[in-house]
Structure 1
Amino acid sequence: MRVGTHVLAGVFVLVAILVPDRLDRFTLQGFFRLPVEALFLAILLLVLPARARRVAAVAAGSLIGLSTVLKCLDMGFYQTLARPFDLVFDWVLLTDAADWVKDSFGHAGEVLAVIGAIVLLIAVLVLSALTMVRLSNMMARHRAVAVRTTLVLGVVWITCFTMGVQFAGVPVATNGYSQFLANRVQYVREGLGDADVFRKQLAVDAYAKTPSGQLLTGLRGKDVLFTFIESYGRVAIDNPAMAPEIDKTLTEGNARLKSAGFAAQSGWLRSPVTGAGSWLAHSTFLSGLWIKNQQRYRTLTTGDHATLTKYFQKTGAWRTVGIVPGVRKAWPEGKYFGLDHIYDSTHLGYQGPYFSWTPVPDQFSLEAFQKLEHGKKNRDPIMAEIILASSHNPWSPIAHIIDWKDLGNGKIFYKIKKEGTNPTEVWKSAQRVRTEYRKAIQYSLDSLTQWMQRYGDDNTVLVFLGDHQPVPTVTGGTANKDVPVTIVARDPKILQRVSGWGWTDGLKPADNAPEWAMDQFRNRFLKAFGPQS
């Protein structure tokens, strides 16, 4: 019994050291390797006196336990955000994850998930520490055998490492755990130094001293709508499993707009995030700065660096409003972004059901904007930031287009929701997730193009874009962060202003259309629609 326990303890430590931090790197042969870190740990425990050995065993066990937890977090972040967990900036996102679980699986699911995570964390740390203490005691009792075994394995590791010996294509000798820890330390160092880097970037604004009378002169008298479509990424257009249906939607939308006298041009923007973190993408697009983490976002929104929306406000020529159905609590950042009035999920007149995370279906949000602002008579020009949230993860259930006259107060969506899919069933299959994602994007695009056809006029200018690519379950793990961006207008002078951008005619950007980092858009837009020389 004792021998079996010792064996299990050794296996536990080896697995904890060898386990990768990404699910797509899990292979059976990956666990049949010899980690140099285990050998160094054995040497350390053999040379230390009894008391120091116990302390070292507990410390090493705790480190292995914590790194195992960190690897698990990395797995989750790679699956949702296509990047590892950031030890400096990402703690706030854990509360967002809990909110997502609650919206997707209810309050009970959230409670169970949080309790399960806490219990698992404690269990891993305690088990790791106890395991290392047990192994260190065993090595002390059988010191001679432990020394010989360590020496033999050390020679084996050196030989395999020098000669590049592999098992099923995987190197037998590895120092991957040390590299993992070193990378994490480097990430933390870079994170801690990022604040100083960003402060220097924050101080630079090419338009900060531009008189208000010289700002956005090419758009005076126009209603300008900046519309973000949640998770509308390049994968929707490029992926063969989704491209035909999305292409059909874009073609029909383009024809719909043309019939109403509108023209469009499209390109690509590279988002700072993937899978989630929409607010980071929105603030990158509007501020002209690369907002890649929560610290940068907080620094930005507590400062005075002007956003694109704030420059509209500065001119005094527009009433600036926000349609933000995803906001369900206080949003003080709205003042920073230069919005005169904000309509959140509780101020759009919607009395229908949530669709998982999404509080208000896109079609209703756009109709509410029409009733509350755009459709008013004798009003000033409007600049609106509009967030379309129906294509937010988990894409189940989703709404579908109905007659605009039937929207009412939104209660009709109760029936539509009952007809929708169940997220717990959808997420059992990556193929079904992609299908529902594609339908959600189609719904958002149809809602927007139908609204433009129905309510747009000669003075309507629409800029719409995706905020980021969807989760890797949909993208297949691609590192590409491109999102489509489109400008729509009836007045030909508007598109003439951006003719030098090289964008593609229509709603679908060509594969070789220009790709800009998302933070470049603000200044290009201000230049294009400023005074012409």
Structure 2
Amino acid sequence: MTGRRAALGAWGRAALAAGVLWLVLIQPNHPAAMTWGAFAMFPLELPVIVLGMIALPGRGWLSRIVRAALVATLLVLVVAKLADFATFVAFNRAFNILVDAPLIAAAWNLGSGSIGVAAAGMSVVAAGLALLGLAVALWWALGVWVGMVSGPGLRRAAVVALVPAAVLAVAEGGQAMRAWALPFDPPGAAFTARVGVERAIFYTAALRDLEEFRRRAAEDPFAGSSAGSSAGLGGLLDRIGDTDVLIVYVESYGRSSFLNPLYAGTHPVTLARIESRLAERGLAMRSAFLTAPMVGGQSWLSHGTIATGLWIDNQRRNAAMLASPRRTLFHFARDAGFDTAAVMPAITMDWPEAAFFGFDTILAADDLGYRGEAFNWVTMPDQFTLLAMDRALRQGRPGVDRAPLFAQVALISSHAPWTPVPELLDWDAIGDGTEFNAMARAGDPPEVVWRDHDRVREQFRRAVDYTLQVIGSYAERHAAAPPLMVVIGDHEPAPFVSQVAGFDVPVHLIGPPDLVERAAQWGWQPGLVPGPDAPVWRMDAFRDRFLEAFSTGPRSDPPGAGIEEAALRPAFPWERLP
């Protein structure tokens, strides 16, 4: 009886150990795979691991080395799949350690700013303890199977069985990677092994892609162009005259504002109302869509893509761009006689990358004169940002009292966590920003709002609507002497907020009719509400087409030359669901 109880206990431990390995191996790396159906998948790596453990000769040094290597490998893959899961939720793509390491610091800054340093720190500690506990569980589970059998005959049998199990796992993995086709459907999937193999393959390809990107960055079709030169353009940006140009980025503003019923009943209505008011004041408007290089965050990638005409879809490309001789819109504007500037209320630390872009003036958060309370992560309301820009850069008449301005302006009131949301004030009633203090204290804090995804989406709807109202009110305020405003959504919000698949963002041109009508040649639609059939460009097309449209003299190469032709959204192999 005692022997039977011991045997049952041994097999019970073995079943539990196999269960631990099974849960690790079926762990999804995509939110769409987080379903009960995931539990029905049989991981083909499981028999390979179990048979491999049985085949080890006892509990000596070799078994400990193999167990340690397996535990380390499985932990790395668990973390990789968790990172994928998180970046799919936030950015609708898989995690890439080659380019996404800075996201770790960015996630900490956003998390600690939203829920507090203590809560964010506790979350990090809890995650670390969970991984430590998993490592202990895996070490135990592998050890159970090492001691399951005794005798060389049984271990040899395990080695014999290990060969077809490994062949089947490799065959299924190759089929899933489209390396070959099997004449039958395997009884499971080697998903976790594929994650590791496919990442190694992709990283190699990514390094090759980076070299190609560096070459393209150096081959600028406008490299020889300058104001009044005969090379490339007859007169650089001379069709704009003395009008100020404002490239205004609206945080987290995407096509979802027109497709998702949660937002489509608000944002297009606000835009139509603004359109009517601006038309009465004599302004012209045209709209279309641009395809952003990412969703959910990393706005600087969109800023770099617009400025340089290069497709900057990851941090490694961003670093290569900064090290390249590429000239930006702001370099060309400076050559054409504009004062160039960046108005960046989210910049609260040193920004050495700014030296690359060709800005004469940089107005970071501390330079804008805001003395009011912050709106959680958002340093100041968008209305104050635009008013501070006017005070610092747009006093007097362009071309008479000062040079015309060519500025990049980042509006951030629609940045996560979207609470609290400001209200529009009378422009003349705003002083140092303390007028917004009561709004900054209003409503529930992020740690309360973010417990309910429906409330998060509602706050997002209100935040974007506020920023659109600010832009409309600003354009109306300056209708007598209007700047040319290019209003661009930098990216879609996180997918759980947008609930729309895709990377498209609206772009609006607002300003003097003679300048706005130059966008008619692009096919951009009149007004502020682009229809579903509005043109869609990749963001890297914007720089060259803008330069062509607002400069005299044709270029020798056709529109769009020099724009990178890599696939818009490469389907990384590990993004496929198990």
Note whether the superposition's TM-score is higher than 0.5.
yes
Shift of 1:298: 1.5
Shift of 1:146: 11
Shift of 1:43: 3.1
Shift of 1:105: 0.9
Q: Structure 1 residues 145, 45: closer, same or farther in 2, change over 3 A?
A: closer
- C-alpha deviations, 1:158-191, integer Å up to 9, x for none? 79x98978xxxxx852222222222222222222
Shift of 1:91: 1.2
Shift of 1:280: 0.5
Separation in 2, partners of 1:505, 1:528 = 17
Shift of 1:2: 5.5
Task: Give the 5 Å matches for 1:388-467.
Answer: 388-467=411-490
Q: Is the 8 A contact 1:62 1:128 kept in 2?
A: no
Shift of 1:406: 2.7
Q: Secondary structure at the match of 2:532?
A: coil
Aligned to 1:53: 63
Separation in 2, partners of 1:310, 1:301 = 14
2:189 matched to 1:174?
yes
Shift of 1:24: 2.3
Q: Structure 1 residues 260, 143: closer, same or farther in 2, change over 3 A?
A: farther
Separation in 1, partners of 2:111, 2:408 = 27
Aligned to 2:565: none
Alignment partner of 1:353 out of 373, 388, 395: 373
Alignment partner of 2:297 out of 252, 276, 300: 276
Q: Secondary structure at the match of 2:434?
A: coil
Q: Structure 1 residues 211, 412: closer, same or farther in 2, change over 3 A?
A: closer
> CA RMSD for the aligned pairs?
2.7
Shift of 1:505: 0.7
2:496 matched to 1:486?
no
Shift of 1:72: 1.1
Shift of 1:149: 12
Shift of 1:263: 0.9
Separation in 1, partners of 2:149, 2:425 = 72
Q: Is the 8 A contact 2:71 2:139 kept in 1?
A: yes
Q: Is the 8 A contact 1:99 1:110 kept in 2?
A: no
Q: Structure 1 residues 457, 124: closer, same or farther in 2, change over 3 A?
A: farther
Separation in 2, partners of 1:252, 1:322 = 29
Q: What is the percentage of aligned positions where both structures have the same residue?
A: 30
- C-alpha deviations, 1:183-239, integer Å up to 9, x for none? 222222222323212111111111110132221111121100000001101001111
Separation in 1, partners of 2:549, 2:132 = 57
Aligned to 1:116: 126
Alignment partner of 1:69 out of 76, 79, 88: 79
Shift of 1:134: 3.1
Alignment partner of 1:387 out of 392, 395, 410: 410
Aligned to 1:253: 274
Alignment partner of 2:223 out of 197, 200, 208: 208
- C-alpha deviations, 1:82-141, integer Å up to 9, x for none? 111102111111000000011101121232233233333333334323432333233558
Aligned to 2:175: none
Separation in 1, partners of 2:149, 2:551 = 75
Task: Tell me the TM-score normalised to structure 2 length.
Answer: 0.85
Shift of 1:436: 1.1
2:502 matched to 1:471?
no
Q: Secondary structure at the match of 2:508?
A: strand
Separation in 1, partners of 2:301, 2:43 = 39
Q: What is the identity, as a one-letter code, of the residue corresponding to 1:31?
A: F
Shift of 1:148: 7.6
Shift of 1:482: 0.1
Aligned residues: 525
Aligned to 1:7: 15
Q: Structure 1 residues 471, 140: closer, same or farther in 2, change over 3 A?
A: farther
- Which ranges in structure 2 are unaligned for 5 or more consecutive residues? 1-8, 173-181, 229-234, 555-578
Q: What is the identity, as a one-letter code, of the residue corresponding to 2:502?
A: N
Q: What is the identity, as a one-letter code, of the residue corresponding to 1:307?
A: T
Q: Structure 1 residues 145, 336: closer, same or farther in 2, change over 3 A?
A: closer
Q: Is the 8 A contact 2:370 2:432 kept in 1?
A: yes
Shift of 1:295: 1.3
Q: Structure 1 residues 12, 350: closer, same or farther in 2, change over 3 A?
A: same
Aligned to 1:27: 35
Shift of 1:382: 0.7
Q: What is the identity, as a one-letter code, of the residue corresponding to 1:432?
A: R
Shift of 1:480: 0.7
Aligned to 1:221: 242
Shift of 1:143: 7.7
- Which ranges in structure 1 are unaligned for 5 or more consecutive residues? 166-170
Shift of 1:532: 4.5
Aligned to 1:168: none
Aligned to 2:569: none
Q: What is the identity, as a one-letter code, of the residue corresponding to 1:323?
A: V
Q: What is the identity, as a one-letter code, of the residue corresponding to 2:383?
A: Q
Separation in 2, partners of 1:345, 1:520 = 30
Q: Is the 8 A contact 1:46 1:147 kept in 2?
A: no
Task: Give the 5 Å matches for 1:265-344.
Answer: 265-315=286-336, 317-344=337-364
Separation in 2, partners of 1:140, 1:401 = 77
Shift of 1:154: 7.1
- C-alpha deviations, 1:274-323, integer Å up to 9, x for none? 101100011011110001111111121233210112211122x1111111
Q: Secondary structure at the match of 1:444?
A: helix
Q: Is the 8 A contact 1:227 1:387 kept in 2?
A: yes
